[in-house]
Structure 1
Amino acid sequence: MTSPTILHLSPGAFHRAHQAVYAEALIRAGHPEAGIRDICLFPPLIGAAHAAQGGVYHVLLRDQTREDLLRITAIREVLDRPHPDMLCDPALRLVTMTLTEKGYCHVPGTDRLDPAAVAQDLADPQHPRTALGWLALALVRRRAAGLPGITLASCDNIPVNGRLLEAVLTAYVAEAFPDLLDWMAANVTFPVSMVDRIVPRVDAAAAESIAALAGAPDALGVVAEPFGQWVIEDRFALPIPPLDKVGVQIVADVAPYERMKHRILNGAQTAIAHLGALSGFATSFDAASDPVMGAWLERFCAAQARTLACPPGEDLAAYCRATMERLRNPHIRHPLTQIGTDSSFKLGQRIVEAAEHHLEGPEARLYALTIAAWMRYNTGRDAAGRPIPVEDPLAPVFRDIDLAAGGDPSALVAGYLRLDLFEGPLRQNELFRRRLVALCAALETRKPRDIILASLNHAEAEEELC
């Protein structure tokens, strides 16, 4: 069998439903070199399960209209707690990783290395405990073996993920292996990538469906939506398998694609999390499938699209339609309170920046309701006084704002607008501020859905129109 040219760090469910599916398609198109060797740096360790299944697992793709079972053999080997010499395979061309944001050992919201997160590795660089420490030591071994450079591609859902990886790994290497810096700068590349596929947790019913279709239980089987996208910057140290032949978009600049995803898909998710939860819906599917909330969300997506330059090869209107279809997938029911987690990190990029494009237009009311719902949500109670679990780094700040406001919606809005994420023209716009105050007052006793429905029936005062 052809030696794998792709090495992947941390083969979780997303990797098995995303990168490995593209590799499988490429292998079936006649490129056996697209095989993957997976390494588990941390639990869960799945090497034994992978070997027991003969290197085979399944991906169940399903939505409103289809259900397809894919048989995946692209992952040739899974190694638990591998040696750093794994980067010394001459066949290796591409290293991908899904570490989750915490795995980058950075100060949240920055690309600075967190010294506390790597303190043990810096004290003993030959026995690393973090992915950064492992990669640095593996690069040291690769250079010592006289091999060429390598591409390290983050596939985590983090903005400009390649730049983050490059920054933190460079900072770590500067401390642990300073003589590697020049070689790394000249020979290692860190392309930015944008990945997209919703991969819900495999519950008992989903596991039964996979087993029934596959003919046997599958310990590594995953469920995913049919939609998938992988955009990666054309910045490779060595030639890689021709992933572009199976739909991977290799582009000069990933930023327009990231903005499209963050504004339209992620922006819609953030908006519906707060509006939907305050309206009494439990999941993204429930809210997006409601005729009133769904119509509002379609309008919101269209407004978000108008703030974007269309990326090459894309169709923003089609992307909006696909977003709505994805949110209405009955097999994907994300809890709205989970989507609303850490929203202070997300609101600025996804919604506030877009709102600034619409401050003087008719869609300003749309954004005023979105942001007012976010403010009301973060008081920790809905219109009926029921508690809302606010899980956010700024939760203590939100509580202080609410207490200081003392029930005055004008003071509440003023407190929120002082947050750094509102720095800019939105904070200075008096008409938008008045709309926020009126809507925050309305949301004390009314659900967002009721306000939206009334506005559709032209029964509300101008300042409450959404």
Structure 2
Amino acid sequence: MNTPLLQANLGMLRTLVAPPRYDRAALKPGILHIGLGNFHRAHQAVYLNALMNAGGDPAWGIIGAGVRDPDTATRDLLMQQDCLYSVVEVDFDRAAASVIGVMTGFVPVEPQGNAALIHAMTDPETRIVSLTVTEGGYFLDGNGDLNTDHPTLLHDIAAPQAPNSAFGAIIAALAARRAQGIKPFTVMSCDNLPGNGDIARAVITGLAQRINPDLAAWINEHVTFPNGMVDRITPATGDRERALVAERFGLADLAPVICEPFKQWVLEDSFTDGRPALEEVGVTFTHDIASFEKMKLRILNGGHAIMAYAGAMLGFTYSHDAVTDPLIHAYLRKTLETDVLPFVAPVPGFTPQEYLETILGRFANPGVADTISRLSYDGSNRQPKFIVGSIAENLQAGRPPAGLALSSALWCRYCLGRDEHGGTIAPNDPNWDQLHATAQRAQSEPEVWLDQEPVYGAVGRDPVFREAFATALRRLQEHGTASTLQDHVEGNA
């Protein structure tokens, strides 16, 4: 009989499961987090759980929040089990489980108007508002500027007291705090974006400028937006993950999170009204965020993309199977070593080559069972952030990046919706219809793929890269994925 995960049952957990060692009733929600997906629950919440276990200040509990309809399902699951959930760190055949108890509650989800969310953010106890709304959730256009013509933002501009976006709700709460003489909170982006704090500032002040320029100036002067780099491989939860938790740990958990043991968080120490002592549980505070995030985004996230589209075309389901395939492994290593590492600086603790060896080992962890589909998702938003920058640096250095050109050609081929064996690739991007149509045209006109200005920008207009991409796409068409990868690895392409 598996033990339902409830506060009343924490004393009944098996010895293999580590429960919270602090008084949950003493927690106060100093942090409100928008976007309570698996990554946040395996990352920020785990750090804070460790801090509370070490005797940290209970004023830094977390209250969850969301602004999308799917967030309601997450809230329902967590509220059913007293906002408890398990995190299982899997390292090949070893697994360790902990129950995370740092959540104090979950704000009712109201995608239209967000009244409960605004009320919670206006509470003086809330001193940090953090968010993981994904790379595509910042309403940026192809030039990286705020797209105030987006329908959601147009609504927020017209009805600022009843906004539908997370950013509109943050602005409404800051306006209320200002009017009531309450100190503003820190806005802390935990999304996988270079300069995520700077981007959050630009989005919030840019939207506020359209609503109330005086408020925008006040936010820019009084609210801090620390940049941060976050890292942990955390796949989606499904029946497999729930069964693993039940079978190995005797726990009936509706919302477990499976992840790798590795985690990293690097933050600027810039907070409006205090912060938890996260340095006591391994968070690095520094003003040199850029070097850390570039290494991670270019090698790990870029590596995921390089591997994923090749793996998808060859019919792989899981990343660990793809990265341990000799051909994909050789292609991934060569592309990263040739086209990416030369433009990445070392950081404290890692040279680029050492970091590469680390991520190859992390990718190969079968216990995590990360899917190729998840890693391939939303290429139209991820490619500019993880791949195109490396292409640009190669071109500026006079080095045609053949491996990255092939990676772009594989993404184009992927968007046709069929793998090498004729299997269907399901739509896997918010812009799938456009990508699919463009990929079809590119089979006879390769340049149209690079004409996607929001993705490639100036890189797509570069004649050297256009030729390298066209050559790679033709080889995929004529010889198939495996042969093209083999030729590239052997230096015959």
TM-score range, shorter chain: 0.7 to 0.9
Name the structure 2 match of 1:111: 145
C-alpha deviation, 1:251, in angstroms: 1.8
Amino acid across the alignment from 2:279: D
Instruction: Say if 2:451 and 2:460, in contact at 8 Å, map to a contact too.
Output: no
- Find the aligned partners of 2:28 and 2:134 in 1 and give their Cα distance: 27
Instruction: Say if 1:383 and 1:444, in contact at 8 Å, map to a contact too.
Output: no
- Find the aligned partners of 2:450 and 2:156 in 1 and give their Cα distance: 41
Q: Please state if 1:61 is matched with 2:98.
A: no
Name the structure 1 match of 2:64: 38
Q: What are the ranges of 5 or more consecutive residues in structure 2 without an aligned counterpart?
A: 1-25, 110-115
Aligned residue runs from structure 1 range 213-362, under 5 A: 213-303=248-338, 304-355=340-391
Using the TM superposition, name which of 147-156 and 36-45 deviates more.
36-45
Name the structure 2 match of 1:135: 170
- Find the aligned partners of 1:214 and 1:241 in 2 and give their Cα distance: 31
Using the TM superposition, name which of 109-118 and 418-427 deviates more.
418-427
- Find the aligned partners of 2:460 and 2:255 in 1 and give their Cα distance: 49
RMSD value over aligned CA atoms?
3.3
**Compared CA separation, residues 4 and 440, structure 1 to 2 (3 A):** closer
TM-score (ref. length: structure 1):
0.84
Name the structure 1 match of 2:101: 73
- Find the aligned partners of 1:343 and 1:267 in 2 and give their Cα distance: 11
**Compared CA separation, residues 333 and 445, structure 1 to 2 (3 A):** farther
Q: What are the ranges of 5 or more consecutive residues in structure 1 without an aligned counterpart?
A: 407-411
Identity of matched residues, %: 32
Instruction: Say if 1:307 and 1:354, in contact at 8 Å, map to a contact too.
Output: yes
Name the structure 1 match of 2:245: 210
**Compared CA separation, residues 80 and 266, structure 1 to 2 (3 A):** same
Name the structure 2 match of 1:370: 407
- Find the aligned partners of 1:365 and 1:102 in 2 and give their Cα distance: 28
Amino acid across the alignment from 1:370: S
Name the structure 1 match of 2:22: none
- Find the aligned partners of 1:10 and 1:367 in 2 and give their Cα distance: 32
Instruction: Say if 2:237 and 2:255, in contact at 8 Å, map to a contact too.
Output: no
Equivalent position SS for 2:462: helix
Instruction: Say if 1:161 and 1:192, in contact at 8 Å, map to a contact too.
Output: yes
**Compared CA separation, residues 371 and 171, structure 1 to 2 (3 A):** closer
C-alpha deviation, 1:235, in angstroms: 2.2
Name the structure 2 match of 1:180: 215
TM-score (ref. length: structure 2):
0.80
Amino acid across the alignment from 1:112: L
Amino acid across the alignment from 1:31: G
C-alpha deviation, 1:134, in angstroms: 1.6
Length, aligned pairs only: 453
Equivalent position SS for 1:165: helix
List per-residue Cα deviations over 1:199-222 (Å, max 9, x = no partner): 222222311222345543112322
Amino acid across the alignment from 1:448: T
- Find the aligned partners of 2:363 and 2:435 in 1 and give their Cα distance: 31
List per-residue Cα deviations over 1:428-457 (Å, max 9, x = no partner): 43xx7665555433322433333444666x
Equivalent position SS for 1:244: helix
Amino acid across the alignment from 2:375: I
C-alpha deviation, 1:369, in angstroms: 3.4
Using the TM superposition, name which of 155-164 and 44-53 deviates more.
44-53
Instruction: Say if 2:135 and 2:382, in contact at 8 Å, map to a contact too.
Output: no
- Find the aligned partners of 1:84 and 1:50 in 2 and give their Cα distance: 21
Using the TM superposition, name which of 352-361 and 262-271 deviates more.
352-361
Instruction: Say if 1:132 and 1:169, in contact at 8 Å, map to a contact too.
Output: yes
Instruction: Say if 1:151 and 1:238, in contact at 8 Å, map to a contact too.
Output: yes
Amino acid across the alignment from 1:36: I
Instruction: Say if 2:171 and 2:208, in contact at 8 Å, map to a contact too.
Output: yes
